[in-house]
Amino acid sequence: MDSYTKLRNLLGEVFDLAATDALLDWDQQTMMPPGGAEGRARARALINRTAHDRFVSAEMEDLLEAARKEVAGRDPDSDEARIVRRVSIDFEKERRVPSEWVAHFFYAATLSQQAWEEAKPGSDFDKFKPHLEKMVGLRREYADFFAPYDHVYDPLVDDFEPGMKTRQISELFAQLRQRQVRLVRSILERGKAVNAAPLHRSYPVRKQEAFSLEVARALGYDLRCGRIDVAAHPFTNGLNPGDVRITTRYDPRYIGSALFSTIHESGHAMYDQGVPASIANIPTRLGQSLSPSFVSSMGVHESQSRLWENFVGRGRPFWVHYYPTLKKLFPSPLEGVGLETFYRAINKVKPSLIRTESDEATYNLHVMLRFDLETSLMTRSLEVSDLPEAWNAKMQEYLGLTPPDHAQGVLQDIHWSIGYIGYFPSYTLGNVMAGQLWERITEDVPDLSHQIERGEFGSLLSWLRRNVHAHGAKFDSGELILRSTGKPLTAEPYLRYLETKFGEIYKL
């Protein structure tokens, strides 16, 4: 057996351990009773430590070394050469982290997530505070494993967006902030031009389920290799290429919640499902753990989910096709509401408290707020006990709002509870990448909007399959975007998209 094959076999073992942990995570977020947290924390600590030890073993090091020599003469873009390259980068990073730390981190994160779930409904920040302090402390310790660095946040961002630096994110955010704040300001000056009240009526959950399922299937989410469940914070969990699960949440008084969450998560799931078998079953180091999917970055992941959710699901052509079905399903809340009114309602721009329910024009401001707070926590210019106050001050600064309670403020997202400090920029990077991909797709598939009006999503999905999914983690996000669009990552297409779309809706 050649060294490359032996390497793939060993990576397959690490992959299976990571997949086992993913199932424990899925279960924790959907089914597990609160009393299970302590036992689950021990199990996840053990599985993650075992996966880590196997990944950084002397055997892996030797096989990587031998495989590097074996693939040296091959096409540098071949699967073999690229896999060896990506795994080598992940290996060098993973081995900086002590095995004990990995076990300790997953133990603490599991309990912290449980504490967050219990603290959130009652807005009880004090109950969650010791856990958050623990997670922030662990992430500070983690960054130090990678010293020296230009910025203490760099090693954290790199967990989600391999190769990306804090400085690049700051520059990109500055460019976005200026144009988005100007856009939001001119929209708000137009006053109440859009009425979203019809979205907040009585929408029976059963029917919402049926509609969401129909849409997810039509877009291309393969439910033979997937399923949809309910969770407090919607997520996608790819256990292996044949089992990619999504979750959503239903609000009987708001049609947008489940619908757009389901489309968003279906976008993630289609990416995981689209990685070809020839490069699947390899773990990537994403989200500070070994993850059982061979994908480029969380930014690329979010580009897929945000593209389907917004560019497709909040677009007019999509509703030309689906609005008659929706109206038939919900005749009374949508009585007298025409397509155009509905389209404008789902795109209403209004500064809001909750990131996941915010409109496209203000969404990135929610991310920038979190980026500011995370970098301050990491540089120690902010401590956890002052976080709620800092959150509320930033909400005023960015969105002109003050949360009435912590559930709608600092406690709203799951990320910090599981130590995902460094993830949030991926959402905005995803938006920006989606803008750039979309511009290129509409050049390559000129009648795309007519296809979508007919409920046909096949050419869009196959474009994404060919240009994004097929490459798995062979390229980092910068290279992937360059290869798929012909241009380096730039915010221009996304800003143009926002200004055109909202310019038309609000007659700016």
> Cα-flanking dihedrals φ and ψ of residue 493, to 5°?
-60, -40
State in angstroms the smallest separation of the CB of 305 from Zn ion: 4
Q: Residue 424: enclosing H or E segment and its boundaries?
A: none
Residue with tokens 């449980």: 114
| Alpha carbon distance 192, 469 (integer Å) | 41
Q: Name which of 305 and 412 has its Cβ closer to Zn ion.
A: 305
Cα gap 89→100, rounded to integer Å? 21
Closest to Zn ion by CB, 268 or 316 = 268
In whole angstroms, give the CA distance from residue 104 to residue 108. 6
CB of 492 to Zn ion, least distance (A): 23
265 given a catalytic annotation: yes
Give the residue with the Cβ less far from Zn ion, 305 or 375: 305
Identify the CA nearest to 306 among candidates 427, 412, 212.
427
Burial of 209 (0-12, 13-18, 19+ CB in 10 A): middle
The catalytic residue among 265, 302, 360, 374 is: 265
Instruction: Could you list the beta-strand ranges (E) of 129-265.
Output: 228-230, 236-240, 243-248
Summarize the chain as % helix, strand, coil (round to 5).
Answer: 65, 5, 30
Q: Which residues bind Zn ion (CB under 5 A)?
A: 305
Q: Between 30 and 451, whose beta carbon lies closer to Zn ion?
A: 30
Structure tokens at 93: 């990073």
Cβ contact 460:451 at 8 Å:
yes
| Smallest separation, CB 287 to Zn ion (Å) | 12
Task: Pick between residue 70 and residue 272 the one whose CB is nearest to Zn ion.
Answer: 272
Q: Rounded to the nearest whole angstrom, what is the least distance from the CB of residue 239 to Zn ion in the complex?
A: 17
* Distance between CA atoms of residues 506 and 508, nearest Å: 5
Active site residues: 265
